[in-house]
Amino acid sequence: MTAWVRATHALMVGSLVALAWLLGLWVVLLHPPANPALVAPLLLLLVLPLVIPLRGLLYGRRYTAAWVSLLSLFYFAYGIARIPDPPPVRWLGIACTVLSMGLFLGAIGYVRLTRRPKT
């Protein structure tokens, strides 16, 4: 594995884990919903899709990295949609946007760098 492949793999996995932690803390501690009954559905909606591909990414599976790049666009849109909110949520939206961009760039870079050479 070359240094660039290791770097993109680390960026991809690190961004995914950081994004999952950010969204989990966001929903539970930092800015919980007004109705406490919405905490569990929001965790399932926001964090579970990030936890499911974690094993495949840790093992370096290209197919998982390819569809995670598409999944990251949902979190990018979510972060962009939360930026116009008041300041505590604005910074969380910016962090979500930055981490989702890191996840996208890491996944796309990993897929491109690990493709098989043409024969």
Number of domains, the chain: 1
Separation between Cα atoms, residue 80 and residue 98, nearest integer Å:
10
**In a domain? residue 34:** yes
- Please report whether residue 118 resides in a domain: no
Question: How does pLDDT run across 42-57, given as a tens digit for each residue?
Answer: 999 999 999 999 999 9
Query: Is 61 in a helix, a strand, or coil?
Result: coil
> Encoding tokens for residue 79?
């972060």
Question: What are the tens digits of pLDDT across the range 103-118?
Answer: 999 999 999 999 988 7
For 93, the domain range is 3-113
Whole-prediction pTM: 0.94
- Measured CA to CA, the distance from residue 15 to residue 96 in angstroms comes to 10
Give the whole-angstrom CA distance, residue 71 versus residue 106. Answer: 13
